[in-house]
Structure 1
Amino acid sequence: MDSLFLVLPLLLSASFPHFTSAHNTAPPPCHFQAIFNFGDSNSDTGGLSAAFGQAAPPNGETFFHRPVGRYCDGRLVVDFIAKSLGLPYLSAFLDALGSNFSHGANFATAGSTIRPQNTTLHQSGFSPISLNVQWYEFNDFQRRSKIIRERGGVFRDLLPKEDAFSRGLYTFDIGQNDLTSGYFLNMTPGEVKAYIPDVISQFIAVIKDLYNHGARSFWIHNTGPAGCLPYVLTKVPVTAGQIDKYGCASPFNEVARHFNVKLKSAVAKLRRSLPKAALTYVDIYSIKLNLFQNATRHGFEHPLRACCGHGGKYNWNKDHGCGSTVTVKGRQVVVGKSCKDPSKAVVWDGVHFTEAANKFIFDRIVNGDYSDPPVPLRFACYRH
């Protein structure tokens, strides 16, 4: 990684020739005033907890030492993104109590999909706060922030300045639940593939709406290998021949790759149709797959086994998840306990990644090694 910094000026000269001078100097890093995040549980910093009840202990135990709305033992990739840009961790838009939105807001909620689901959270586990709802929330947030800031006093300090919306970084990590929702309805991988164009179309519509409201810098994660996650491996039947040598379900990972190909193509088309937008497509899939396939090499153990859970081959049980309790002789006993060392685990609770895994992922995306164009995060405001 260190060698990348030695060739950074040359890299940027190749990618952004109109931003370099006769002395071949790199452009200055972007000064993002805020982050506006959209997504699901992979980047939810408290939205679902605020709306439907706090994530239970031991969530948050590694870094925050208490539950803080994240389905993780500590920090998420979006937390590391904020820290690297010199910004505080993002408050969830739905978590108004004690929140400071001067540096942006997080509209992600666990269980969110791009396409609205015709079901309830209780029935399916998928959030009613789909991407279009997150867009409505953002639209209201942007409009009302200006009005409320004009009141002065504490309101001026707790809400973003008007130009923060055009000088902010818009981050996205969503799509995984759109695929798994089909599997959980007993759809075949082929049937899930068939509705991906509609999912991508709805995603692109939101990007265009944000652009029309002044957004210019977009950082878009593709979706990960869901076929390696315990909750998919346990809930969706697969045959022995569909399990690869690493223990992952190949059909589900192939659908994720198909989704990512379509997403990357759509982002490329957006670059042509949105003349002032800088759109960075980030290949999270490859990093996560590498982590599952080469866990030991990267200092991790038992990559397919949940750190926090109870029972079964993958330490995951839909009825006794992370933090769950059972009644024994009239007493509540915690059975969904965390493992001895979460820093050695890839998967936290059967669905989400540990802080250590999230840090591993962030360290590989921050310098642009997995991005298209290959632009470091701190230069993501420049159009390729």
Structure 2
Amino acid sequence: MDPTTTTFILLSLLLYGSTTGFSRVFSSESCPFPAIFNFGASNSDTGGFAAAFFQPKPPYGDTFFGMPSGRACDGRLIVDFTAESLDLPFLSSYLNSLATNFSHGANFATVSSTIRLPTADVIPQGQASPFYLSLQCSQFAQFKNRSQIIRRQGGIYASLMPREETFAKALYTFDIGQNDLTQSLFLNMTIVQVIAAIPDIVNHFLDNIKNLYSLGARLFWVYNTRPIGCFPQILTSFPSAKKDSVGCAKPYNRLAQRFNAELKNALARLRIEFPLATIVYVDLYSALYSLYTHPTKNGNKIPKDAILLLFYFNLKFLCANQYDRHKFFFF
């Protein structure tokens, strides 16, 4: 396989992102981050949902890990490639208590998580995760405190915890917000109603960034949300929505664009408020939408309808290593 295809998505993110000091691809030489602390939902969950509820069954994990890996994906996620680019091991979930090494960071993401307190029924009765962003950040605060107690106590577990200075030098990544939009839509809210809620969603996100800043975080990497109008679940649930030239539902993509615009503006204001922080806004929407608009240019030879069918049955976005000439498993 051409090695450039396996890292296409990660490279796209970095090239499309609006950055403040991180305009090139991660490398251990240019970006010597000692750890990553990740917050998010299924697109970056490396085992939180599996630890709290149940392990996703095959084909999840089959292609790269050879077994279920706690990911809603059959390969690796962008957060995995980010860790590899920094010469760090894959992130373990904070919720995973078995043979876990947190010295290089921790992952607080879980499938179906939202920024705000979920209004939908939570798992296992419903579809929403109880681990919304504020709870994930509370888990981080507890982790930071307790990990240093363990280090001071010494013994065999001390080396499995990050050093105190790691927290200020670590990279804090965020991939969350998509479910705030889609879960609202499936609760029969109109697009207009969801748009009206966007400022509150973004403000809740900013509150959590500020909280993490107060705990010592300084380097923030924020992904915007995806082109949800291209999601098969949106296309099948709202079949009458006006389509664009590639078959995506225009009103729902405009909803995502509205969220992304408000998020980008809010982060710009936050840079002014916290000049000592580095806050990177990554345009994931554009990178992924280009896969729909230029599929053959990006190495995919499967027709659009077949792509959407594969999306539907594979369920979750962002198995970056699966982007190659032969198959297109992104969900």
Give TM-score scaled by structure 2 length: 0.85
How many residue pairs align between the two structures? 298
* CA distance in structure 2 between the aligned counterparts of 1:63 and 1:279, rounded to whole angstroms: 32
Where do 5+ consecutive residues of structure 1 fail to align?
2-14, 17-27, 307-313, 316-344, 361-384
1:194 partner letter: A
Q: Deviations over 1:264-318 (max 9, x none)?
A: 0000000010121000100000000001222222122245656xxxxxxx54xxx
Distance 1:142 1:126, change over 3 A: same
1:50 partner letter: A
* CA distance in structure 2 between the aligned counterparts of 1:156 and 1:359, rounded to whole angstroms: 41
Q: Is it true that 1:278 corresponds to 2:243 in the alignment? A: no
Contact preservation (8 Å) 2:222, 2:280 = yes
2:136 partner letter: Q
Secondary structure, counterpart of 1:154 in structure 2: coil
Q: What root-mean-square deviation, in Å, do the aligned CA atoms of Structure 1 and Structure 2 show?
A: 2.0
| CA shift for structure 1 position 359 | 8.9
Contact preservation (8 Å) 1:72, 1:355 = no
1:117 aligns with 118
Distance 1:355 1:190, change over 3 A: same
* CA distance in structure 2 between the aligned counterparts of 1:46 and 1:93, rounded to whole angstroms: 8
1:181 to 158, 180, 183: 183
* CA distance in structure 1 between the aligned counterparts of 2:290 and 2:58, rounded to whole angstroms: 29
Larger Rg: 1
Name which structure has the greater RCO, CA cutoff 8 Å, separation 6+.
2
Q: Deviations over 1:74-100 (max 9, x none)?
A: 000000000001110000000111111
Contact preservation (8 Å) 1:172, 1:219 = yes
Secondary structure, counterpart of 1:220 in structure 2: strand
* CA distance in structure 2 between the aligned counterparts of 1:156 and 1:351, rounded to whole angstroms: 36
Distance 1:304 1:128, change over 3 A: farther
1:141-152 alignment, distance < 5 Å: 141-152=143-154
Distance 1:161 1:305, change over 3 A: farther
Distance 1:49 1:92, change over 3 A: same
* CA distance in structure 2 between the aligned counterparts of 1:270 and 1:178, rounded to whole angstroms: 21
1:354 aligns with 319
Q: Is it true that 1:172 corresponds to 2:174 in the alignment? A: yes
Sequence identity (%): 48
Contact preservation (8 Å) 1:76, 1:358 = no
| CA shift for structure 1 position 346 | 6.5
2:231 aligns with 229
1:218 aligns with 220
Distance 1:203 1:357, change over 3 A: farther
2:26 aligns with none
Secondary structure, counterpart of 1:219 in structure 2: strand
| CA shift for structure 1 position 244 | 1.8
Contact preservation (8 Å) 2:75, 2:322 = no
Between 1:241-250 and 1:142-151, the stretch displaced more is 241-250
Secondary structure, counterpart of 2:88 in structure 1: coil
* CA distance in structure 2 between the aligned counterparts of 1:131 and 1:31, rounded to whole angstroms: 27
1:139 to 126, 138, 141: 141
2:30 aligns with 29
* CA distance in structure 2 between the aligned counterparts of 1:276 and 1:304, rounded to whole angstroms: 47
Distance 1:30 1:196, change over 3 A: same
1:182-331 alignment, distance < 5 Å: 182-234=184-236, 236-239=237-240, 242-300=242-300, 301-303=302-304, 305=306, 314-315=308-309
| CA shift for structure 1 position 354 | 3.2
1:51 aligns with 52
Distance 1:276 1:303, change over 3 A: farther
1:182 partner letter: S
1:350 partner letter: L
2:123 partner letter: L
1:67 aligns with 68
* CA distance in structure 1 between the aligned counterparts of 2:233 and 2:239, rounded to whole angstroms: 13
